Amino acid sequence: MIAVAYAWPSIAVFVVSSLLIVAGAIGVLVFKNPVHAALSLILSLFGVALAFLAQQADFLAAVEIIVYAGAIVVLFLFVIMFLGEGSSDTSAVEPLVGQRTLAGIAVSLVIAGVVFLMATSHWVTGVPSVSTGGTPLATGSDNIHQIGAAVYTTYLVAFEVTAALLIIGVIGAVNLARKERPRVGEEQ
Amino acid sequence: MNVPAAWYLVLAAVLFGIGAFGFLTRRSAIIMFMCVELMLNAVNLTFVTFARTLSDVGGQVSVFFVMVVAAAEVTVGLGIVVAVFRRRSSTSVDELTEMKG
């Protein structure tokens, strides 16, 4: 029995989080109404946050709920309701014959390939703590300290680039969603 | 002792597969974006799992950056969806065929 070697709370947490994740993801797949799909996505994201918590990523679990469930899904819901689109998903008709079957085959092949690679190879080298100089992964507020220190030292350039990316994203979104008005010189 | 990393990695592979299947089969652009989010979360889960396995906070920092890029991507993507909807009164990707050769 392999399950005996592990503490039962961690197994229980894994089972609950995987049920949440898979149920939510399948809900996104099957619900016709986009609002229901968005709510189902929140369920899946809560499962991911739980899996983060179980793996000592406390800060990311909080960010997952605040940013994803709190901001991104709300943005989805806002756009769905702004467009007033009920269930215009025409997935009942299949313009490409056998698209679903082909997609299912391709996806199962990819999953099976990844799991097979994982089972047969040793690509986890086991070299620990490259970016933190040998300190082990901390939990709680120390986890936030570690992430903050890494972001502002090792990954500073990437951090600055994401700041620029966010500005570009905001300006681009405003520019795209704005109604087109005739320019000053072209008014009739 | 915590459950082995392989369990979470298989869970992430399954989540990625569900997201990819939805992206390939659904027609509504908004739901396709949600499936992209599912795939991004699957990758985030593998990052966190490896961060735990290797005891390295770099994986968690990567997740942080993935979340920032996902937020920017959703903002611009939904802006495009709104712009398309204004012109076509539909978000079905099957009707966007102007560039068909």
CATH number of A19's domain: 1.20.120.1200
Q: How far is A188 from chain B (nearest CA, A)?
A: 22
In a domain, residue A96? The reply is no
Domains in chain B: how many in total?
Answer: 1
- Residue A4 pLDDT: 55
Q: How far is CA A85 from CA A30, A35, B23, B30, B97, in A?
A: 17, 9, 19, 10, 20
Place of tokens 């939510």: A24
For residue A29, tell me if it sits in a domain: yes
pLDDT tens, residue by residue, A105-163 = 999 998 898 888 887 876 655 555 555 555 677 777 788 888 888 899 989 999 999 99
CB A25 within 8 A of CB A38: no
Sign of the CA dihedral running A70, A75, A80, A81: positive
Residue A113 resides in a domain: no
Question: Hey, are the CB atoms on A11 and B6 less than 8 Å from each other?
Answer: no
Q: Tell me if B17 is assigned to some domain.
A: no
- Structure confidence by residue, pLDDT tens digits, A51-88: 999 988 899 999 999 998 888 999 999 988 888 765 55
Question: Which of B2, B10, B78 has its CB closest to that of A6?
Answer: B2
Instruction: Let me know if residue A108 belongs to a domain.
Output: no
Secondary structure class of A93 (helix, strand, coil): coil
Mean pLDDT, chain B, integer: 87
Residue B15 in any domain: the answer is no
- Print the domain residue range for A12: 1-87
Identify whether B74 is part of a domain.
Answer: yes
Examine residue A59 and state whether it is found in any structural domain, yes or no. Answer: yes
A104 belongs to a structural domain: no
Q: Is residue B85 part of a domain?
A: yes
> Domain residues for B74?
28-90
Query: Is it the case that residue A177 has pLDDT exceeding 80?
Result: no
B72 vs A64, A154, A165: nearest CB: A165
User: How far is it, in rounded angstroms, from Cα B81 to Cα A155?
Assistant: 33
Measure A89 CA to nearest chain B CA, in Å: 5
pLDDT tens across B50-71, in order? Answer: 888 888 888 899 999 999 999 9
* Residue A1 confidence class, pLDDT cut points 50, 70, 90: very low
What whole-number distance in Å separates Cα of residue A5 and Cα of residue A176? 55
Query: For residue B6, is it within any domain?
Result: no
| Residue B9 neighbours by CB under 8 Å, 6+ apart | A118, B46, B49
Query: What's the number of domains chain A is made of?
Result: 2
Q: Does A6 touch chain B (CB under 8 A)?
A: yes
Q: Is B28 helix (H, G, I), strand (E, B) or coil?
A: strand
Q: Inter-chain contact B11–A99, Cβ cutoff 8 Å?
A: no
Our CA angle for A15, A21, A25, nearest 5°, is 145
Residues A75 and A1 in one domain: yes
Chain A CB within 8 Å of residue B93 CB:
no
Work out the minimum CA distance from B101 to partner chain A, whole angstroms: 17
- Is residue B21 domain-resident? no
